[in-house]
Amino acid sequence: MSNAINKKILELKEELLVAKSSIVYTDSKRRKLIKQIADLTNELDSFSSLIDPISAPDAFFDPTNPQITAGIVSLALVAQNRKPLQHISKFYGAGIYALYYTGESEVYSAISNSETPIYIGKASPSGNPQTYKEQGPKLYDRLNTHKKNIMKVSGILISDFEYRSLVVQSGFEAAAEDRLISIFGPIWNKETKLLFGIGKHGDSSTTRQNNKSPFDTVHPGRKWAEGNSEKQSAFEIISNVKAYLEHSKIYRSQDELIKSFLDGLKF
């Protein structure tokens, strides 16, 4: 095995010398050479582990890994207490949040009063603030906007919504939002392509010809959206939502949810 690796190293060394001295070296050849180097590096690592009398650990936990940080921030969010959205008061900070539905609408019956959020979002600060005061009331502003939008439309009541929020150090909110969306697949998020549109604003038919969002189709009431045409009917959208939720993981308790997050940190 060592002779075979030595041969590969010599061949790759010759190729690198050619690449270094060559005036014309195409992008495809360069990408191929980079892949060869990576493959050989992995092979050398495997060979090193094989002959090393000390075994490698089962996992290497790197807290600076963005994915690890996103998981920890996400876990911290779902550990927070839920609060009624209609009674939100102004507070400092930017970060991440989740909206939960607790009402009796048939559209959302599968997730009502569960630990599966209807929407996940983030509020990013401007610039590079170092404290929550410097971040400004970004989270509050975003949540308050959702509150106002829900109060404008039909089919849902603001009294049937709760939220969790977490103020985080600037820069960590985006990865955590992505992680939470991938875990829950919330039906109001655009990523699920179902009932998105609560975050839209000002898309009046008089300014540009946009389709009415699924949210505005199912929950009419925002004046600026009235003139926009519907891409799908409310019946089609609701049918797709119900079919999606039938095959989705719905978390019924906070204990079940936190256990799932902790399992996700195992290697």
Strands 95-101 and 161-167: antiparallel
In eight-state DSSP terms, residue 10 is: H
Tens-place pLDDT, residues 208-259: 557 899 999 999 999 989 888 999 999 999 999 999 999 999 999 999 998 9
- State the amino acid at position 20 in one-letter form: K
- In whole angstroms, give the CA distance from residue 193 to residue 187: 8
DSSP letter (8 states) at residue 266: -
pLDDT tens-digit profile of 151-187?
Answer: 999 999 999 999 999 999 999 999 999 999 999 999 9
Count of alpha carbons within 13 angstroms of residue 200, beta-carbon side: 22
The tens digit of pLDDT for each residue in 38-69 reads 887 877 777 777 778 888 787 788 888 888 88
pTM, two decimals, is 0.79
- Closest to 119 (Cα-Cα) out of 143, 90, 148: 143
- pLDDT tens figures, 120-140: 999 999 998 999 999 999 999
Do the bridges between strand 83-84 and strand 119-123 make them parallel or antiparallel, or are there none, so unpaired? unpaired
Across residues 183-210, what is the average pLDDT?
Answer: 81
| Start-end of H helices in the chain | 2-21, 27-51, 66-78, 132-135, 138-152, 173-184, 214-218, 234-246, 254-264
Q: Pick the range with the lowest mean pLDDT from 21-25, 32-36, 260-264.
A: 21-25
